[in-house]
A and B are shown apart, each in its own frame.
Chain A
Amino acid sequence: MTKLLEAPHAARPAGPPGPAAPRTGAPITQRLRTPGLYALSLSLAFAIAGLLVAVVGKSPWDAAVAMYEGSLGSGSSIGQSIDQAAPLLMVAIGSVIAARAGIFNIGQEGQLIIGAAVGASVGLFMPGPGWFVLLMILLCAAIGGALWASIAAILYYWRGVDVVIATLLLIFVANQVVSFAVNRPYLLREQAVPGQTTASQSDMLRESVWLPRFGEYPGFNIGAGIFIAALLAVGVYFALTRSRWGFRIRLLGLNAKTAHRAGVGAVVVGGGALLASGAFAGLAGGAMLTGSGYRIQDGFADNVGFDGLLVALVAKDNPVRAIPVALFFGALRAGGGFLASTGIPRYIVAVVTALLVLAVVFPTAFAEIQRRRVARTTDA
């Protein structure tokens, strides 16, 4: 069974490339090559997407304009982009924690929807002042996500089931669990209103437990989610780099055996990291619930779990770097919502997103290969 000894990206820099270690004293042309490659592969990604749009007989220009309108064109669309970024960032933070511990959790999509479902039940059934219930929603959503992730953790540490496969399969189970809940009137399905048919969704949360919003409604306005997410990103960044806990996580991720010897237990620290990443995914679900959807239904997660994971990949496992990446991906998602008016299917956004990740992964991997090739001929 694989233990996933490698962090989920190609090349982790061997350390801070400070002046003390000028081993990679490559000529200037080589150092310029990597940014050049980035530019090249990113434009290639966009070009492919544009080509796709053109192939189906639509205008890439229209698509670009619509994307711009939907993401940056007006105050409200900028707000939209930022709102979209918040859950992405939360998921990404969790992914970073797991990845640093050498664990690849790819079931955020499931952890997110379970978190949201738990949050919805708290929001619907818990009495109390709005602010308190809101806090409880977010907290319980995080706990729900962590518990869902703990299934994979138990399967792995107790039975040796591969984390990647387990978290992946649990997504499908999670979707059905939530679907089950929103189809049962005694669980989360909305209460019947005389004269109306009910749908497979929960009731709407009362307004007092919604995340506060800032700004003017038709113009620029954003939810509080992004502030929470950004604060968490910075906090986790410091925790990972400055705290004992972060040190242990890193130690475990880089060398599990040495970690074990030094008293860092894989089950406690690694399992904890997996649970933490589930908690962040669940929190993202809670934030989506209280920030924009206000009710839960089938398909609630809407790929946010996967996209958040991709944010972490692009940000190279750095929570602070994940902030701009999440904003960018959020803008893409927001822009995608605007595509409907042009008749271009919004799925093109998913294509662009995936291509972008490949485009970002490629240059580092390529540089690593080059470095290794050079090393092999000189080192022997």
Chain B
Amino acid sequence: MIDEASVILASAVRLTVPLAFAACGEYIAERAGTINISVEAMMLGGAFSAVLGATITGSASTGLIFGMVAGLIIGFVHAQFSHRLGVNTYVVGLVLSALILGLTSFLLDSVKLDTNNQVNAVNIPYISDIPLLGPVLFSHRWPVYLLIVLIPFVWWLVQRSRFGLELRAAGENPQSADVTGIDVRKRRRQALLICGLLSGLGGAYLAVGEVGMFNQNMTAGRGFVVIAAVIFGGWTLRGTIAGCLVFGAADAMRLALPALGVQLNAQFLIAAPYLLALLAMMFLAKTHRAPGALGIPFVRGTA
């Protein structure tokens, strides 16, 4: 029983990791005032590039870097279009999602990719042997530990650094930030770049970390679940990560329940994270307060 529980929990943690990387990025982007729906594109692009990179270099870890770069490029394009040219951010996100889905599908059919190249798992000596907790927390592929370091760093970056302070000001009250001498659009662009970097990493981890290969449309809407996680978390980092865990656990249950002999129909389980996200937003959207200028493009001189 403990074994089964720890398997499910470990798989929940594993499935949370890609979401959590991307969610850290999305959290930063939203605190700066952008609802970034191209996070899906960033994850998908990151996943593909990671496998491509792993195939080219033979190293899955280098693949992760490829994935991050891909996310960064998508973030750059999004940032230029929506926070320099002023194109509606949803339009940009939607088009980028379509573009990356098409592009990765096209390339997948045209390029021969490795199918079994994964980053190494690291069992932390001794503590990974602890029953239940050991396999759940201390027996993972190495990027998981990176995530554990990343989360406090992101918190520090947003809550304590000058950059984060200016970022939040840009997301809460861009007009005020502007008269104080903060380049609002620039901060928002930077937030999108970071978001791209982290979401790319999330997607890359999904591909070369968990699955070991790339499938067509392999993120399948996980990016949108990430957005829901940020809303679920009420725009706090803690809540966002908790949201990811909830959605990751739902995903893990989908895989684990049939093995446990529980019969639930597949369609319901696949839809579960999305339903959960909708329900979460339904109950939380009114109580949580979004950044003041979330989703509102900044134009100087309009109050």
Contacts and interface: CB of A to CB of B under 8 A. Distances in A.
Q: Let me know if chains A and B touch directly in the complex, using CB atoms closer than 8 Å.
A: yes
Interface in B15-35: 35
Interface stretch (B81-89, B125-133, B206-214): B81-89
Given A1-B285, A173-B275, A350-B98, A345 B106 contact: yes
Interface stretch (A69-77, A130-138, A176-184, A274-282): A176-184
A351 B35 contact: no
Contact of A8 (B85, B88, B102, B271): B88
B254 to A, nearest CB: 11
B231 A2 contact: no
Contacts of B180: none
Interface size class of B (residues with CB under 8 A): 35 or more
Contact of B109 (A106, A180, A345, A355): A345
Contacts of B98: 303, 306, 310, 350, 353-354, 357
A313 B91 contact: yes
A165 B228 contact: yes
A8 B90 contact: yes
A349 B98 CA distance: 11
A168 B107 CA distance: 25
A139 interface: no
Interface in B60-101: 81, 84-88, 90-91, 94-96, 98-99, 101
B86 A369 contact: yes
Among the interface residues A10, A170, A353, A366, which one has the most CB atoms of the partner chain B within 10 A?
Answer: A10
B231 A309 contact: no
Interface stretch (A118-126, A153-161, A215-223, A264-272): A153-161
B268 A166 contact: no
B94 A106 contact: yes
Contacts of B110: 56-58, 344-345
Interface secondary structure of A, over-half rule:
helix
Contacts of B297: 6
Given A345-B110, A351-B102, A358 B95 contact: yes
A358 B300 CA distance: 25
Interface residues of A, number: 60
A5 B294 CA distance: 11
Nearest to A58: B110
19 contacts: A1-B290, A2-B35, A6-B88, A56-B107, A155-B281, A162-B281, A162-B285, A165-B231, A169-B228, A309-B94, A313-B91, A345-B109, A350-B105, A351-B102, A353-B102, A354-B98, A357-B98, A366-B85, A369-B86
Interface of A: 1-2, 4-11, 52, 56-58, 104, 106, 155, 159-162, 164-166, 168-173, 176-177, 179-180, 183, 303, 306, 309-310, 313, 344-345, 347-351, 353-355, 357-358, 361-362, 365-366, 368-369, 372, 376
| Complex A-B, nearest 7 residue pairs according to Cβ-Cβ distance, in ascending order | A350-B102, A2-B295, A354-B99, A56-B110, A345-B109, A176-B271, A365-B85
